[in-house]
Chains A and B, each alone.
Chain A
């Protein structure tokens, strides 16, 4: 059974607010919502330094994915949807599944904005893999297989990425994934219960809920300990890209159905905190509460405890908030037209609750009310002010950057598996919209809109060999290098995303690195006039040998107004 990582003072705060001892379900719910993974409690206040606004920002940070304006085609404004996350701990513990579910999760973040998913990028950091029999090498191979297997099966090309090896990742690899989507700006769907939606249906879509991934959010928010290995494995989810392939296509059909009828709905990915986290956040974001019946959830095994149904992180699930007169048609699309119940055991779309007018979050199970809390208390921001060591600022950066100049990376150099670059196991051309795929240039380029000359470029950057010397310089470098790479293919940079992979925030030096790196990111992005539109913080990346090198990893999105002008590097 997953353990609760809430601190005693946090449990006391919950009991005080509820006026009673919290139930088991409530403890697990707060454990997920108040984990660093969901709450950013020890990092959010530092992130405010990052620039997040600009003329091209259509949807800024705070939703499942950011959206930037790409351009106009045939009178329609189009946006590029982008999301960036880590799946570090799961990939270290169960490499194939951890990396695959990382791709699966980021794809859902883009899908739930109403977008078609058009591309993937990955930034990988592994330990020393020179010994073919080493655990580090098996982690690296498993991760590469997992990233490829998932993206290939759903039919989304992997078009950009980078890869480093450093002994600092021997016990804690990094797997950062970025997904891109395309959407007409008037068709964007938001992750919130729409206006006047009290009484609307809450519809769960996808895989039958099972005991996998129980405690995932909380597990991501502590350091990995060897003696917890078995419990940690249970916290990793199980990927099903075959089912996801069908869910994506069925969801595209639902988008068309809703647009034809001008129906506004809410749509959100189930990630950390499972059914509870998703339903609470989508309803709270609209200013509502929710009442759900856990007995209505489609489950894979009978007799699961309510906290596992409510908080477990089974993959391949999404949630709609729908007006009741549209529900039957949406269920028909998923269950009959796209035959979800025939694709995977007990997969389906099913009504599990309703949006509530009061701001209570209520879960029923059998004859019992197993959770009844103020929804804003559950989902609202919490903050931990942990002490940190101030690092040297801009002055310290130049020597580290000079050291970097010795690296000579002419293009996207892969990790050799059987004498071939690792990315050769990633499909880079599926969908037929690839202009520059993996291994061609420093950035990937897509033609996202059929019939349009508009292009989108993406590149990632972040150097652990700078990070181990100077976290501020690593942040500055990641922004500047990602921007340079996008410019190198002839694109105009318009937005950034970041994933901040750092150590234990309870260690003032390690938290100091995070703070310094954010300063570096903010300084470079501000100077270049580029906003961050999506991001993620992954802390507690520290196992055995100490903290990982400071690893701010940045992706830059660029626009090419006419693909005739794309710059192709000369063949090597």
Chain B
């Protein structure tokens, strides 16, 4: 039997629809778990935190939801080795929960995805490049070296920020799982928000918690990119679905 995945909905989450649909389209047994039903979370094998504006981004994006009761279960699960993926606002929540880069105690964030260099929301089509050895994490094990994955950056707070020493620790510890990249794989000028280390995604030391800012699940079917579709079926998963397919493989699908 394959793993059961919970897609968490906090008040203000807005990307549950495409996240759930893509998980199911790549064969994952996933369902939505709503904030008033959080007590069911220990029964799931993996957690996905989708994008949105949980608790209205009050204080900082991710700060309040990191203390939601649902996160008690996610933190325990992550510590026991369950896979946890956060996308966009979900990624911000995982940083605020201290699960990535995961170097300090939980709920004592050491770094943040914070206000873009532009100081406003930016919606831009981007590519992210795998910046770690694929074998380092179950999330990426099925991806080729330096895999390029299309995604939508859509955030007001997506710039990685931390003090210089901690950034070095993040970099040298292999925590930068994805960087922004151009179509040819270079990174010059590709970062849409001024993120430190060109960082688009962070992973913990154990490799079971991944926080990624852009949304691969919004460029994940042929109809999302009709000019560059793969194969003839306009409804087939493609593009950003590669990351989710890798996740499905990690879950034994």
| A contact residues around B227 at 8 Å (CB) | 568
Residue A345 lies at the interface, judged by CB distance under 8 Å to chain B: no
Contact in complex: B17, A242 (CB < 8 Å): no
Contact in complex: B121, A431 (CB < 8 Å): no
| A contact residues around B15 at 8 Å (CB) | 155, 430-432
Contact in complex: B118, A246 (CB < 8 Å): no
What is the bound-complex CA distance between A91 and B55, given in angstroms?
Answer: 26
What is the bound-complex CA distance between A431 and B14, given in angstroms?
Answer: 8
Smallest beta-carbon distance B116→chain A, Å:
10
Contact in complex: B235, A429 (CB < 8 Å): no
Chain B interface residue count, Cβ-Cβ cutoff 8 angstroms:
40
Residue B21 lies at the interface, judged by CB distance under 8 Å to chain A: yes
Tell which of B93-101, B137-145, B169-177, B216-224 binds the partner. B216-224
Identify the closest chain A residue to B119 (Cβ). Answer: A418
| B contact residues around A424 at 8 Å (CB) | 122-124
Task: Given A336-B36, A343-B11, verify A242-B56 contact (CB < 8 Å).
Answer: yes
Contact in complex: A153, B12 (CB < 8 Å): yes
Contact in complex: A425, B12 (CB < 8 Å): no
Identify the closest chain A residue to B154 (Cβ). Answer: A427
| B contact residues around A343 at 8 Å (CB) | 11
Identify the closest chain B residue to A452 (Cβ). Answer: B235
What is the bound-complex CA distance between A564 and B14, given in angstroms?
Answer: 28
Smallest beta-carbon distance B136→chain A, Å:
28
8 Å CB contact of A429 from B13, B53, B120, B219: B219
What is the bound-complex CA distance between A356 and B21, given in angstroms?
Answer: 44
B-facing residues in A210-265 (Cβ within 8 Å): 242, 245-246, 249
Residue A296 lies at the interface, judged by CB distance under 8 Å to chain B: no
What is the bound-complex CA distance between A242 and B65, given in angstroms?
Answer: 14
Identify the closest chain A residue to B32 (Cβ). Answer: A249
Residue B18 lies at the interface, judged by CB distance under 8 Å to chain A: yes
Contact in complex: A425, B122 (CB < 8 Å): yes
Residue A339 lies at the interface, judged by CB distance under 8 Å to chain B: yes
Residue A303 lies at the interface, judged by CB distance under 8 Å to chain B: no
| B contact residues around A429 at 8 Å (CB) | 123, 125, 152, 154, 215, 218-219, 224
Smallest beta-carbon distance B184→chain A, Å:
16
Contact in complex: A152, B121 (CB < 8 Å): yes
Residue A435 lies at the interface, judged by CB distance under 8 Å to chain B: yes
Residue B213 lies at the interface, judged by CB distance under 8 Å to chain A: no
Residue A77 lies at the interface, judged by CB distance under 8 Å to chain B: no
Residue B91 lies at the interface, judged by CB distance under 8 Å to chain A: no
| A contact residues around B219 at 8 Å (CB) | 429
22 A-B contacts, Cβ less than 8 Å apart?
A: A148-B121, A155-B15, A245-B14, A245-B52, A246-B11, A246-B12, A338-B36, A420-B118, A424-B124, A428-B123, A429-B215, A430-B15, A431-B18, A432-B220, A433-B18, A435-B224, A435-B226, A436-B226, A447-B221, A447-B223, A455-B223, A564-B234
The 5 closest A-B pairs by CB, nearest first: A155-B14, A432-B18, A242-B56, A429-B218, A429-B152
